[in-house]
Amino acid sequence: MPVAKQLSVFLENRPGILARICSILSENSVNILALSIHDTVDHAVVRLIVDHPTKALLLLENEELYVMEQDVVVVDVDNRPGVLADVACKLAEADINIHYAYCTATQEQLHGCLVMKTDNPEKAAEILSNFF
């Protein structure tokens, strides 16, 4: 159960900005593994997990973007009803708070990917590694 570095990039919420950061990363051979966007009235928070987080951080900061780095837990989960409830219950039993999460899977996939920001990512990863 890996703990990964996630980058949160604060961007203006207007056309072309996401394309710009994605292009910067791809032109420098940085692959985006996970992406989440939360919008507000005039800004967006783009959360990224990439294959080269330090390189991506430097590239984005070089563009004068505000970037924060966080540790998140990345879990490969079965694609079935109840699995998210199971994860949430296991972490609640350990008194670990989930600040936010995002996940994805298509109906055809046997497994999905769950990304969670918790108040104790190392402990959460350890608990879930015993579960999955």
Question: What's 38's domain CATH number?
Answer: 3.30.2130.10
Whether residue 94 is found in the same domain as residue 63 = no
- What would the pLDDT profile of 27-55 be if each residue is shown by its tens digit? 999 999 999 999 888 899 999 999 999 99
Per-residue pLDDT band at 77 (split at 50, 70, 90): very high
Question: What's 116's domain CATH number?
Answer: 3.30.70.260
3-state SS class at 84: helix
What is the distance between the alpha carbons of residues 93 and 100, in angstroms, rounded to a whole number?
Answer: 17
pTM, rounded to two decimals: 0.89
What is the distance between the alpha carbons of residues 80 and 102, in angstroms, rounded to a whole number?
Answer: 16
Total structural domains within the chain: 2
Domain region containing 122? 72-131
Residue 35, pLDDT score: 96
The residue that leads in pLDDT, 59 or 12, is: 59
Residue 60, pLDDT score: 97
Residue 41, pLDDT score: 82
- What would the pLDDT profile of 100-125 be if each residue is shown by its tens digit? 999 999 999 999 999 999 999 999 99
Q: What are phi and psi of 89, to 5 degrees?
A: -65, -45
Whether residue 12 is found in the same domain as residue 61 = yes
Q: Are 99 and 119 in contact (CB under 8 A)?
A: yes
Whether residue 66 is found in the same domain as residue 79 = no
Beta bridge partners, 68, equal 8
Residue 42 burial (CB < 10 Å; 0-12/13-18/19+)? exposed
Whether residue 63 is found in the same domain as residue 25 = yes
Whether residue 54 is found in the same domain as residue 79 = no
Q: What are phi and psi of 15, to 5 degrees?
A: -60, 140
Residue 13, pLDDT score: 87
Whether residue 44 is found in the same domain as residue 97 = no
Whether residue 64 is found in the same domain as residue 83 = no
Residue 1: pLDDT over 70:
no
Q: Would you state the structure tokens that stand for residue 11, as one six-digit string? A: 């961007």
